[in-house]
Structure 1
């Protein structure tokens, strides 16, 4: 079955995570993604845990992509990129604002020879505004977005998840914008520019933070393992040292929860009949739940929650995920082979039942597709040799 983006040609000139994650999503669902890497390759090839010098992350992040190594700092390299863009459908770039314009390859430049191109740009702070030229890594942009402010415990330094989620969330926003622009292009025949800022992608996660401040002058603060204004939803330590998350904040769910843990009196307490009342008595409710969980191993806690139909679950690490039958049944892992050894990589979402995505090959060697891609531009063997000798391609 043909994948939904089959026939779409994407040129990816981003590095590290935000642009490449968008490219990964497009490649997974069938687009031909040509990743243009600098000499030495995308730095993420060498990050974290390595297999013979190549990051395990790379095999997942660069799946289904073709690698072309071009030195874009050279004018001949920029000319090659221009040729690649002439018949492309999408460009994904996450350089500092102004870099592409400096190469005469900004949106207005490209529009002159490919007006149908969807031009996706990802940066820390967007393409305009006072902060546009500032360097914008995910860690800093997560803080600037307001996202970090609501994470952690009151009175302590805000914490970050041990992931660069600002990059990934920005990449998802870029992929969504590309899909929307491609749909619109079917009607107008024209491309357009997509401007994704990391801080804005994270800002997009802030739910009611802005209207609560605008309407009620309320600043949402960090709330530890709880969520402000929703009770009970918290993390509790069990007798065996494991943690369980319980979400008993629906009115009927709360009644079942209290009955299940031996407190029918609280289930019938009119003070706690709705969320507003439970918020007022959050400490009392949490002390009862904490005491009940701490006296029982997690399996017993989960069994009671399941019997009462109360949302609850353990906090998993990656080993737990790989061993869990539900993860397996849902196809959350894809097994590939690296150097003759099996390697599990995560599936990419969302799930489509008729035209699903899938992994065709893992992240390629640097410049693995130089000849294939550049010969399609009409570049002959002798010219390829010259470009290699001059360092334009590697």
Structure 2
């Protein structure tokens, strides 16, 4: 039963999605009260069989499908198509992540759905968008991360580009999809007008996150390269290893923060140095500064380092594994680990809901 206190209560969403991008977008909508109906093929979403399984079903699946009602339909059959059309007739939002043209071939494209439901908002997530010379090419999140620029700048300068560790391109696209859907829905509600298509390309979603990459190149041909854990021009900001092997990220690139850090580690001389009073000066001596911080961190345990930095009000964190998250009191206080009981009585922990709405 929907919670009327949630902001998307009463909003019906139909998902034609597989794997990551569209299902993650509709999961976010479901988290905030939308009624989400996920339409799967008779074989089911492949995500049901990805990664670690419990009784034949992916643990990831339980995260990605929470709050949804799943319906298996053969969209190539007349009966399946008719049922899908009926579901879309009553929907405010339809979300899909097929290759462009697939739904049209099934008789479930935008022209058909909008003619039956003029206020419909249709969110279309694909590798390269609904137009352009690459529109028909298949594109997963890894491709979007590569073309969008993220992988080029991820890793260390002396090694090839690397994956970030999760399918972040799909997740970024999903969040743009939700944003676009809600803006389009707002436009329908305010203007009492027709719905529209929200076109999200994976590579564009990644590209939109790439900070100053474009103006830097346009200005003087500068190409940002891989720099590992440091941020050139923003110093000091790096990850250091403690005596007991903890990796600790320290962001002390603010002028006053840098001075607090230097005093905390016993380097008043560096705190007071005129040429280190701003980022430009510190960046010119970054190798020296990182060596100083490396040596100090390496002489202490991770707990000791974090205690000193907390007292000095220097932004820092141990690099958390998931095991660290399960024992951290802040995760618990913020309800970022929430239980889900499966049909067989097994309890799983799920990631909590983001963002927090306090109204």
Q: How would you bin the TM-score normalised by the shorter chain?
A: over 0.9
Residue 345 of structure 1 corresponds to 350
Cross-structure match for 2:136: 133
Shift of 1:59: 1.1
Return 5+ residue gaps in structure 2 as ranges: none
RCO comparison, higher one (Cα < 8 Å, 6+): 1
Deviation at 1:104, TM superposition (A): 2.7
Q: Match of 1:291?
A: 295
- Residue 248 (structure 1) aligned with residue 268 (structure 2): no
Q: Give the CA deviation at 1:216.
A: 2.7
Which secondary structure does the structure 2 equivalent of 1:112 belong to? helix
SS of the counterpart of 2:338?
A: strand
Counterparts of 1:25 and 1:36, CA distance in 2: 17
Instruction: Tell me the TM-score normalized by structure 1.
Output: 0.88
CA distance in 2, matches of 1:42, 1:228: 43
The reply to whether residue 118 of structure 1 matches residue 127 of structure 2 is no
Q: Residue 233 of structure 1 aligns with which residue?
A: 237
For 2:106 and 2:58, the matched residues in 1 are separated by 30
**Aligned residue number for residue 271 of structure 1:** 275
Matched, 1:309 2:313: yes
The match for 1:359 is none
- The Cα shift of 1:195 comes to 0.3
User: Secondary structure of the equivalent of 1:303?
Assistant: helix
Other structure's SS at 2:125 match = strand
Q: 2:204 aligns with which of 200, 215, 230?
A: 200
1:55 matched to which residue of 2? 58
**Cα distance in 1 between the residues matched to 2:231 and 2:101:** 40
SS at match of 1:296: coil
Superposition pairs for residues 139-154 of structure 1, below 5 Å? 139-154=142-157
Indicate the SS of the match to 1:343: strand
* Corresponding residue SS for 2:178: helix
Note if 1:30 corresponds to 2:54.
Answer: no
State how far apart, in whole Å, the 2-side matches of 1:306 and 1:31 are. Answer: 41
Q: In structure 1, which of residues 44, 47, 65 is the aligned counterpart of residue 47 of structure 2?
A: 44
**Quick one: distance in 2 between partners of 1:336 and 1:67?**
17
How far apart, in 2, do the equivalents of 1:186 and 1:275 lie?
47
Partner of 1:183: 186
Structure 1 segments (4+ residues) deviating >6 Å: none
Instruction: Provide the rounded CA distance (Å) in 2 between the counterparts of 1:214 and 1:272.
Output: 30
- 1:25 CA displacement: 0.7
Task: Choose which of 303, 318, 323 in structure 2 pairs with 1:319.
Answer: 323
TM superposition shift of 1:180: 0.8
What SS does the corresponding residue of 2:116 show, helix, strand or coil? coil
1:65 aligns with 2:77: no
- Find the residue that maps to 1:63 and give its secondary structure: coil
Q: Aligned pair 1:7/2:10, yes or no?
A: yes
1:211 to 201, 206, 215: 215
What SS is found at the alignment partner of 1:218? Answer: coil
Please give the root-mean-square deviation of Cα atoms over the aligned residues, in Å. 1.0
Task: Return the offset for 1:248.
Answer: 0.6
Cα distance in 1, alignment partners of residues 274 and 206 from structure 2: 39
**Deviation (angstroms), 1:341:** 2.3
Q: Give the structure-2-normalised TM-score.
A: 0.97
> What residue number does 1:392 align with?
none
**Map of 1:335 onto structure 2:** 339
Aligned match for 1:222, one of 213, 223, 226: 226
Following superposition, the deviation at residue 262 of structure 1 comes to: 0.8
The offset of 1:336, in angstroms, is 1.5
Counterpart residue number, 2:285: 281
Aligned partner of residue 261 in structure 2, secondary structure: helix
Tell me the equivalent position of 1:97: 100
The alpha carbon displacement at 1:76 in A equals 3.1
Cα distance in 2, alignment partners of residues 147 and 45 from structure 1: 28
How many residues align? The count is: 354
